[in-house]
Structure 1
Amino acid sequence: MKIISLSGARVLALFALVTVLAGCALPRPGPDKAEIYAGSVQRKGDAFIVAVNDRVTRATSVTPALGFSNSFKHAGLVGSDIIHPGDKLGVSVYENVTDPLLGAPGQKVSQLAEIKVDGAGYIFVPYAGRIKAAGLSVEALRQAITRKLDTQTPDPQVSVIRAPGDGATVTVEGSVTGQGVYPIDRSTRTLAAMIAKAGGVNIPNDVALVSVTRGHKVGEIWLNDLYENPSLDIALRPGDRITVTKDSRAFTALGATGVQTRVPFTSNTMSAIEAIAQVGGLNPLLADPTGVFIYRNEPAAIANAVLGRHDLVGPQRMIYVLDLTKPMGMFEARDFLIRNGDTLYVTQAPFAQWQKVLSAFSGTVGTVGNIARVKSATGF
């Protein structure tokens, strides 16, 4: 039997490995730049590939449209002494007579039991009868009761105190310290004051969304905007529902980044450079800084603006390209906004793939050498 020398075995192993590598690819995180560009519309693919510049950044700078409609912003403050169905009233009547109408003989002050305004807005006062209270101020109701009693007892002095009940309340729910139903009183007539009454939010302000539901209308704003813009601190109305939620937007990071995962937004807006930082930056051993891609389905209006066209209809597949090695590359990445559902993909640098090939060669050669040494030592 002819015995192959050690050097001959290594050559055969290298030849075998080259043959294997020619028929299959080494593991990698995804497509390389050439493969991505091969899928462009310009090459009869189905995605538009666009290099990011100032014009593209301006055309794609779209942030969620949040705010309150005029019906929310122009609603005046609810009077702190306006009576509503469900309110509780304390009524006291002072009579300067020996034999009072409402009290025992010699009693000057009669304090009526707590009176609740019924669903129709009425209350009942002995000897005064059923009186419409809802919609009146405390002073107006006091005068109405006085007029009713004045015909039966001389110069009655009436006092009315209002305690907001379930008819003048709002519901606060979601990511607040104290969820519940709160009355609208003098100190809680606006949105910010009511959130404070509920103990504030229990999530970071940067990702907190506040919505107000009033009948069939809903308005939504960022919590930080509420604190920074007094015009958004709207007056509340009975029956309003305030809901605080955490921003659910996220993007996906893949390829030669620090991690490959779904990443939630940590602020109202997020730039590409911030998104890269969120995932630990580019992998210094693998990443190609000239191949940072953002995949997105773009509405037709924006796609037409980006491409300088007018004929596109429906959502368009867009791939935006950032080259961080250019003099302005970092600025472009800083200004380009990431949107909900985006995919951030960083290609692998060519030298990284060569390193894998060389590692595969050296590993195979080492294995062949070890086998040859074992054969030499054992005689097999």
Structure 2
Amino acid sequence: MASASAFGRCGRVALLGAMLVLAACGLPRSGPTKREVMSGAVENGGSTNIVMVNDAIARAASYAPTYGFSRSFQAAGQVGADEIRPGDTLGLMIWENVDDGLLTSMGASSTQLQQLQVDSAGFIFVPYAGRIRAAGNSPDALRQIITNRLASQTPDPQVTVTRLAGDGATVSVMGKVGGQGVYPIERPTRTLSSMLAKAGGVAIAPEVAVVTVKRGGETGKVWLTDLYSNPRNDIALRPGDVILVEEDSRNFTALGALGGQTMVPLGNEQINALEGIAMVGGLSSNLADPTGVFVLREEPASVASKVLGRSVQSTQRVAYILDLTQPNGLFVARDFLLRDGDTVYVTEAPFVQWHKTISALTGSLSQAASLENAVK
């Protein structure tokens, strides 16, 4: 009996030791503790700058990248509605003041030349007038050029020039619009907003719609709401522009002791840390440590220099700590703006791990007692 009792005591000690090891490193949890995150600080040989957020830090980190068009986009003038361009189709009518003219048939005083397409170099060919540069001229200017060319060969010629089609001055509209396609730049559609209307309007919610314009090697983009609220964003279109409408993909990730763990779209609004937490159900009242709310971010050098108080030359990995228990902690969190790619991570309260440890040990001791009774 003594040996059995000794075995039971030894078994309990062994099981207790095993459970202590399990409680120390094997219990389930939602992520690293506050102390474990801070152990990766640069001061400890890690690669993360740990920054406690206060009012000054919130202001320094409030940089928010914005969309908008460069000066070259905004300074571009509107395409003249009557300006002839390569690819346009023209119609000519020529009257001659003689019975037997150069171009007219017997008994006719005029001739009509239809479907004259301006070639890629901007030229057309007119019989007896030769190869004439049409691109860059208005129909009236081209009329005068052709008249002058024919005047040396037939007396007092009269010429009219009509722009039949404007296929040369076009833009491409793609993405989330009512009707994708290639559209001519005409008098009513010489600006970005009017061309979007011509394409059937935007087919997604305006607050998440981003409009991108590609012109040669340059690209600009703007929120749809900013396009209509700021006239400077309603840029003049140029031939060959590509317009793309797409849904904004900016988001932040919420992890840890929160009401939900997910990726959250930012839209075109400025969302602060408090709003971001509320969007996923708030802090978990049973798990969260309100002193350990982290915002993890890759900070550009210009902003990192202000936040860290020293000059840096490259992007820095920063873990911002928001302590909601401080007297002004909620105000600081309200003033701290989230950005695309941020990770909001809320650590578990120390009590949670302690509770899990006690629960694990209590359950294990009960199992050990049952085992001892079975041995007896």
Verify same fold: TM over 0.5.
Answer: yes
Alignment correspondent of 2:316: 316
Q: Distance in 2 between matches of 1:194 and 1:269?
A: 29
Alignment correspondent of 2:137: 136
Please say if residues 260 and 281 of structure 2, whose CA atoms lie closer than 8 Å, have aligned partners that are also in contact: yes
Q: Distance in 2 between matches of 1:242 and 1:112?
A: 35
Alignment correspondent of 1:329: 329
Q: Distance in 1 between matches of 2:165 and 2:327?
A: 64
Question: Judging changes above 3 Å, is the alpha-carbon distance between structure 1 residues 368 and 90 closer, same or farther for their aligned structure 2 residues?
Answer: same
| Equivalent position SS for 2:189 | coil
* Post-superposition CA distance 1:317-371 (Å, at most 9, x none): 3211112333433332222122233221101123333443454355556767888
Shift of 1:228: 1.6
Question: Judging changes above 3 Å, is the alpha-carbon distance between structure 1 residues 61 and 24 closer, same or farther for their aligned structure 2 residues?
Answer: closer
Alignment correspondent of 2:60: 59
The 5 A counterparts of 1:139-218 are 139-150=140-151, 156-218=157-219
Q: Distance in 2 between matches of 1:198 and 1:327?
A: 54
Q: Distance in 2 between matches of 1:21 and 1:124?
A: 90
Alignment correspondent of 1:91: 92
Amino acid at match of 2:125: F
Question: Judging changes above 3 Å, is the alpha-carbon distance between structure 1 residues 104 and 338 closer, same or farther for their aligned structure 2 residues?
Answer: same
Shift of 1:265: 2.8
| Equivalent position SS for 1:297 | strand
Percent of residue pairs identical: 56
Please say if residues 289 and 325 of structure 1, whose CA atoms lie closer than 8 Å, have aligned partners that are also in contact: yes
Shift of 1:267: 2.4
* Post-superposition CA distance 1:89-125 (Å, at most 9, x none): 1223456777676455555664322211122222233
Matched, 1:282 2:255: no
Q: Distance in 2 between matches of 1:313 and 1:72?
A: 30
Q: Distance in 1 between matches of 2:45 and 2:136?
A: 69
Q: Distance in 1 between matches of 2:369 and 2:90?
A: 97
Bigger Cα displacement from structure 2, 166-175 vs 114-123:
166-175
Instruction: Report how many residues are paired.
Output: 373
Bigger Cα displacement from structure 2, 104-113 vs 227-236:
104-113
Bigger Cα displacement from structure 2, 53-62 vs 37-46:
37-46
TM-score of the superposed pair, with normalisation by structure 1: 0.82
Shift of 1:73: 1.7
Q: Distance in 2 between matches of 1:346 and 1:246?
A: 29
| Equivalent position SS for 2:137 | coil
Q: Distance in 1 between matches of 2:247 and 2:239?
A: 25
Alignment correspondent of 1:351: 351
Q: Distance in 1 between matches of 2:305 and 2:125?
A: 68
Please say if residues 16 and 361 of structure 2, whose CA atoms lie closer than 8 Å, have aligned partners that are also in contact: no
Bigger Cα displacement from structure 2, 100-109 vs 121-130:
100-109
Shift of 1:209: 2.9
Please say if residues 23 and 357 of structure 2, whose CA atoms lie closer than 8 Å, have aligned partners that are also in contact: no
Shift of 1:210: 2.7
Matched, 1:301 2:302: yes
Q: Which runs of 5+ in 1 are unaligned?
A: none
Please say if residues 223 and 268 of structure 2, whose CA atoms lie closer than 8 Å, have aligned partners that are also in contact: no
Question: Judging changes above 3 Å, is the alpha-carbon distance between structure 1 residues 129 and 15 closer, same or farther for their aligned structure 2 residues?
Answer: closer
Q: Which runs of 5+ in 2 are unaligned?
A: none
Alignment correspondent of 1:34: 35
TM-score of the superposed pair, with normalisation by structure 2: 0.83
Please say if residues 176 and 202 of structure 2, whose CA atoms lie closer than 8 Å, have aligned partners that are also in contact: yes
* Post-superposition CA distance 1:120-165 (Å, at most 9, x none): 2222334444322111111112223334445566655433221443
Shift of 1:34: 2.8
Shift of 1:193: 1.8
Please say if residues 175 and 203 of structure 1, whose CA atoms lie closer than 8 Å, have aligned partners that are also in contact: yes
Q: Distance in 1 between matches of 2:45 and 2:277?
A: 30
Q: Distance in 1 between matches of 2:63 and 2:229?
A: 21
Please say if residues 291 and 322 of structure 1, whose CA atoms lie closer than 8 Å, have aligned partners that are also in contact: yes
Bigger Cα displacement from structure 2, 149-158 vs 68-77:
149-158
Q: Distance in 1 between matches of 2:188 and 2:272?
A: 39
Please say if residues 13 and 364 of structure 1, whose CA atoms lie closer than 8 Å, have aligned partners that are also in contact: no
* Post-superposition CA distance 1:263-316 (Å, at most 9, x none): 343225432223223333222322222221011232343223112223x44333
Shift of 1:54: 2.0
